[in-house]
Structure 1
Amino acid sequence: MSAYIVFQREATTDQQALDRYAERADSTFAGHDVQALVDYGTFEVLEGPPIEGVVVLRFPDAAAARQWYHGEQYQDVVQDRFLGATYRAVLVDGADA
Structure 2
Amino acid sequence: MTAYIVFQRDTTNDQQALDRYSERADGTFTGHDVQVLVDYGTYEVLEGPPIEGVVVLQFPDAAAARAWYRGEQYQEVARE
Q: TM-score range by the shorter chain?
A: over 0.9
Structure with the larger strand share: 1
* 1:75-94 pair list within 5 angstroms: 75-80=75-80
Output the aligned Cα RMSD. Answer: 0.5
Bigger relative contact order, structure 1 or 2 (CA pairs below 8 A, ≥6 apart): 1
Aligned-partner SS, 2:63: helix
Given residue 24 of structure 1, which amino acid in structure 2 is its aligned partner?
R
* TM-score normalised by the chain length of structure 1: 0.81
- 1:14 deviates by 0.3
Inter-partner Cα distance in structure 2 for 1:18 and 1:54 = 14
- 1:28 deviates by 0.1
- 1:15 deviates by 0.3
- 1:41 deviates by 1.1
**After TM superposition, which residue ranges in structure 1, 4 or more long, deviate above 4 angstroms?**
none
5+ residue gaps, structure 1, are 81-97
1:19 is matched with which residue?
19
2:56 is matched with which residue?
56
Inter-partner Cα distance in structure 2 for 1:79 and 1:46 = 31
Count of residues in correspondence between the two structures: 80
